[in-house]
Amino acid sequence: MSVDTDRDGRDLEAELANPAAGKFGIPVDAVCVGCGRTRVKRASLEEMDQHPRADPTALKASDCTSFKHVCYGCQSATWWNPVTVLIGLLESERDRGE
Ligand SMILES: [Zn+2]
């Protein structure tokens, strides 16, 4: 899934593996409203105002609301706006049975 794993020199897979991304939820690329940095985060469907049984692979980032998550740049919990739902990362996790 090279679409998702290498963007602007970022290693999205490594960002997702970082504890800062969070443990639960679907992987999204999101922008912190506080400092403007873009990071891979996990957010649950409910946090993004989506139906809990919605198919994550059919989600559009533009339909997702911002969600609260800690930002290590702001050193506090801030709001994050989803930019992209990282379907590739989601599917590769599923393929591994996670
Ligand atoms: Zn921030």
pLDDT bracket for residue 2 (50, 70, 90):
very low
Distance 8 CA to ligand 1 centre (A): 19
> pTM of the predicted model, to two decimals?
0.87
| Inter-residue contact 21 to 27 (CB < 8 Å) | yes
Distance 98 CA to ligand 1 centre (A): 28
Question: Where in the chain are the domains?
Answer: 2-91
Residue 46 has pLDDT above 60, yes or no: yes
pLDDT bracket for residue 49 (50, 70, 90):
very high
Distance 6 CA to ligand 1 centre (A): 22
| Inter-residue contact 65 to 43 (CB < 8 Å) | no
Distance 35 CA to ligand 1 centre (A): 4
Q: What is the mean pLDDT of the chain?
A: 91
Distance 97 CA to ligand 1 centre (A): 32
| Inter-residue contact 90 to 40 (CB < 8 Å) | no
Distance 79 CA to ligand 1 centre (A): 8
Rounded to whole angstroms, the Cα distance separating 39 from 12 reads 8
Residue 31 has pLDDT above 80, yes or no: yes
Can you give the pLDDT at residue 6? 56
Looking from the CA of 88 toward its CB, the CA atoms found within 13 Å total 14
Rounded to whole angstroms, the Cα distance separating 1 from 9 reads 15
